[in-house]
Amino acid sequence: MTETPQTDTEPAPAEHPERPTTVDLAAAFEGSGVREMLAELDETMIGLAPVKARIRETAALLLVDKARRQMGLATETPTLHMSFTGNPGTGKTTVALKMADLLHRLGYVRKGHLVTVTRDDLVGQYIGHTAPKTKEVLKKAMGGVLFIDEAYYLYRPENERDYGQEAIEILLQVMENNRDDLVVILAGYADRMDRFFESNPGFRSRIAHHIEFPDYSDDELLQISQIMLGAQNYAFDDAARAAMADYITTRRGQPHFANARSIRNALDRARLRQANRLFNEAKGPLGAEALSTITEADLRASRVFRGGLNVDRRVPQAAE
């Protein structure tokens, strides 16, 4: 398929149209709406200082790149394909969504939407199945950001009949040829991503930005738990807040800890216990405060405080 470039029937512009000789980066920053987006990021996402710093660096790069273009300075479109590494529940998907918004605000991508996929969305199970699946995903992602979670599962060298390599080759070609209209973010555990890049130098050469997501501290997770509850019009009483702090410290030392994801699971269970407590103990009409308060008992009933989580993976994490 070929595409004919759009032609203009109006007279050609002057060979050297008038361009600005100076640029006000501060004004460009204010006019882009990026300041508000970064402020929202600080307000809604606890911690992640190094990650937020990299987002600000990316914003600065794109603002300067845009200014250079306005002044007619030779510049190549920056390659912004990225890798996000860190443990589960550290905010990788959320930051990818914010990054898509940033890139759209600064004119790097047309739409600014986020398409999140795993290996199963890209790799087929039989000959001729993988290419159409991968190309369809890329078509949906064009103009935005493609987020591939646990990207290392694309590559399975132990199985010579695996179709993951076909998906990789298609991805690499599109990442190179469409880097001005698509950003690909590969995400996963740091050690596995390192091995993945060692085995796939094509990806390593196309990924210019590597962002590490640190685990949250206990204090940060406590703040996150309160924000999560507040978003649903719940709150801890004083004893419950102390119990949540104990929960975080204890849960961190148990199997399958997943940072903010574990906190969300714990709060879901606490709400379930609260509902049952109110249903069983209520003696009359309940006010908003009773319906919105998580107590110490709602948290202390967790298996985390009763000998720890069952390490059997068949037991749902939501039972925390």
Mean pLDDT on 227-253: 96
The widest CA-to-CA distance across the chain, in whole angstroms, is 84
Say which range, 151-155, 158-162, 175-179, has the weakest mean pLDDT: 158-162
As a whole number of angstroms, the distance between CA 105 and CA 29 comes to: 10
Buried b / exposed e across 161-171, counting CB within 10 Å, b at 16+? eebbbbbbebb
Q: Give the residue from 189, 186, 169 showing the smallest Cα distance to 177.
A: 169
Does 33 score more than 70 pLDDT?
Answer: yes
Residue 24 confidence (pLDDT): 84
Report whether 154 contacts 119 (CB < 8 A): yes
146: DSSP letter: E
Domains assigned to the chain: 25-213 (3.40.50.300), 218-319 (1.10.8.60)
Report whether 258 contacts 291 (CB < 8 A): no
Instruction: Please report which confidence band the pLDDT of residue 308 belongs to, taking 50, 70 and 90 as the band edges.
Output: low
Report whether 121 contacts 163 (CB < 8 A): no
Mean pLDDT on 37-43: 88
| Three-state SS letters, the chain | CCCCCCCCCCCCCCCCCCCCCCCCHHHHHHHHCHHHHHHHHHHHCCCCHHHHHHHHHHHHHHHHHHHHHHCCCCCCCCCCCEEEEECCCCCHHHHHHHHHHHHHHCCCCCCCCEEEECHHHHCCCCCCCHHHHHHHHHHHHCCCEEEEECHHHHCCCCCCCCCHHHHHHHHHHHHHHCCCCCEEEEEECHHHHHHHHHHCHHHHHHCCEEEEECCCCHHHHHHHHHHHHHHCCCEECHHHHHHHHHHHHHHHCCCCCCHHHHHHHHHHHHHHHHHHHHHHHCCCCCCHHHHHEECHHHHHCCHHHCCCCCCCCCCCHHHC
Residue 259 confidence (pLDDT): 96
Instruction: Please report which confidence band the pLDDT of residue 14 belongs to, taking 50, 70 and 90 as the band edges.
Output: very low
Residue 9 confidence (pLDDT): 40
Mean pLDDT on 120-146: 94
Give the tokens for residue 12: 């050609």
Residue 8 confidence (pLDDT): 42
Burial of 8 (0-12, 13-18, 19+ CB in 10 A): exposed
What residues does 183 pair with on adjacent strands? 145
Mean pLDDT on 262-281: 96
Amino acid in position 266: A
